[in-house]
Amino acid sequence: MTAAIAWFVFGAITAALSLQLPLGTLRAPGSGLFPLVLAVLLMGLAAAQAARLLFARRKAAAAPGPTPKAASRWPDAAAQRVLLFIGVVALTIALLQPVGYVASTFLLMLGLLRIFGSGWRASLLIAAGAAAAAHVLFVRWLDIPMPAGPFGF
């Protein structure tokens, strides 16, 4: 339940921040439209997950048999991963201007891969490849201006 609530809050914050950007129209979308749509979808999925968990908890409480184990005060492993995910994304956003797009993309991918259990070697290789591919795709090919950072890329 904690993970669903955390995802919902993350979606709400993303939606609020995306509303500060121009939305545009469906024919000419602004920079805030895509994040807003994703945030609303995330909030819907989180609400559905919370409802599913709530109904499952009520069903388990009504069923005869042994009482379920008391909930721990600490979040479970899934909730911890969600909170770490949100922390890595927030850190990436904070570092985007100071270190640049490529370095922050590398750190984002590295953090997410490690959170979800990839080994160090695979995480480093995939993160480096993803950062390079994102730079080529968005900066070189699509000519989208991104923060350069101290290294010039």
At residue 43 the predicted structure's pLDDT band, cuts being 50, 70 and 90, is: very high
Query: Considering the chain, what is the average pLDDT of its residues?
Result: 85
Q: How far apart are CA 16 and CA 53, in angstroms?
A: 26
At residue 127 the predicted structure's pLDDT band, cuts being 50, 70 and 90, is: very high
At residue 69 the predicted structure's pLDDT band, cuts being 50, 70 and 90, is: low
Average pLDDT over residues 45-49: 92
At residue 66 the predicted structure's pLDDT band, cuts being 50, 70 and 90, is: low
Is 41's pLDDT higher than 80?
yes
Average pLDDT over residues 139-150: 83
Sign of CA dihedral 146, 147, 152, 153: negative
3-state secondary structure of 24: strand
Helices 2-18 and 77-99 cross at an angle (nearest 10°) of 30
Is 68's pLDDT higher than 80?
no
Percent of the chain with pLDDT over 90: 30
Q: Which of 73, 95, 75 minimizes the C-alpha distance to 84?
A: 75
Is 62's pLDDT higher than 80?
no
Percent of the chain with pLDDT over 70: 92
At residue 129 the predicted structure's pLDDT band, cuts being 50, 70 and 90, is: very high
Average pLDDT over residues 89-116: 91
